[in-house]
Chain A
């Protein structure tokens, strides 16, 4: 039986897929994954998931992002606006920067 393995490098980060292990059951999958995927890379946590439990939708059946021009989604126009015209906007941006920094430091 194949178990897909997802590794989280640091607390708060996403678990990202890093490979798989063959194991007869969940407990053995966790044991093997520790060695195969957690030994050499920085690891805070691993998930093991039975391969058949993973559902897939791919680009043959879906049109990811649609098929017409939606460049407005990127909203680049609003980047790097000088927020000093409105104190509450400036304050909110400061708070977001602080929060992002705190997440990084975790």
Chain B
């Protein structure tokens, strides 16, 4: 895989898989308003995934091999995106979205001046939708961190933080991605910046953040194709209709790409 393709798969798979998870909250979120807001965020992330998958198609991949017929171990998303939610645990999507969207902004900002013009030209569109995602997550976090719900937020943070570190797990081509200027910052530097933003913020809410160097990391890292069991279940469920109906080609929405 070329460095550009690796970079694109990381971007597209993260967005696609986290959106796939968010949609599970539809009709189950605490109120109709929070339901709509999260569904809207999921739609944004699907739109971003589409943007990056389209670019991969321009580079020679076929849609069915990008999603529906791609083996689950070929997906390159962070394990943070794939974890199943515990029933009714609203703190989880709130914490997950905060950790993810903060990293997402840093990553996108490091792509604004990408040496690959097709990437650089798409970043603006994506970034403009990310502001709402962070504001949404932070508004919830600030409210849930008061009173008895703080314990739930803390539990979600303890569970998700080790997986969030895999957002910054380098892939095979990390060195080339940086040296060729595809991304203008290394994952190591992005991770440092992410710590500088997320740790003080979460602590200001009275939460305790696990010490990054002392965190017990899951063996699976996502970026190398190793994933939690949750991912294999999710993959099975989102591809099952495609296989059941025996499509030769993925169906397309009317007007899509027109």
B32 touches A31 (CB 8 A): no
Chain A residues touching B, majority SS: helix
State A96–B111 Cα separation when bound (angstroms).
51
From residue 13 to 42 of chain A, which have CB atoms closer than 8 A to chain B?
21-24, 27-28, 31-32, 34-36, 39
A21 touches B33 (CB 8 A): yes
Chain A residues closer than 8 Å to B136, beta-carbon distance: 31
Chain B residues closer than 8 Å to A22, beta-carbon distance: 31-33
Which of B32, B33, B36, B139: most chain A Cβ within 10 A?
Answer: B33
Chain B nearest Cβ from A28, distance in angstroms? 6
State A58–B29 Cα separation when bound (angstroms).
37
B143 touches A32 (CB 8 A): no
Chain A nearest Cβ from B70, distance in angstroms? 31
Closest to A28 in B: B139
B139 touches A36 (CB 8 A): no
Chain B nearest Cβ from A78, distance in angstroms? 49
State A21–B143 Cα separation when bound (angstroms).
18
State A28–B139 Cα separation when bound (angstroms).
7
From residue 99 to 146 of chain B, which have CB atoms closer than 8 A to chain A?
132, 135-136, 139, 143
B143 touches A35 (CB 8 A): no
A23 touches B132 (CB 8 A): no
B40 beta carbon closer than 8 Å to chain A: yes
Bitwise interface map of B from 18 to 47 toward A, beta carbon under 8 Å scored 1, else 0: 000000000000011110110010000000
State A28–B30 Cα separation when bound (angstroms).
14
B33 touches A39 (CB 8 A): no
Chain A residues closer than 8 Å to B32, beta-carbon distance: 22
State A24–B142 Cα separation when bound (angstroms).
12
List 8 tightest A-B contacts by C-beta distance, closest first: A32-B33, A35-B40, A35-B37, A35-B36, A21-B33, A22-B33, A22-B31, A36-B36
Residues on B lying within 8 angstroms of A by beta carbon are 31-34, 36-37, 40, 132, 135-136, 139, 143
Other than the given A22-B32, A28-B143, A35-B36, 15 more pairs (CB < 8 A) read A21-B33, A22-B31, A22-B33, A23-B33, A28-B33, A28-B139, A31-B132, A31-B135, A32-B33, A32-B34, A32-B36, A34-B132, A35-B33, A35-B37, A36-B33
Residues on A lying within 8 angstroms of B by beta carbon are 21-24, 27-28, 31-32, 34-36, 39
6 CB contacts below 8 A, A to B, read: A22-B33, A31-B136, A32-B36, A32-B37, A35-B37, A35-B40
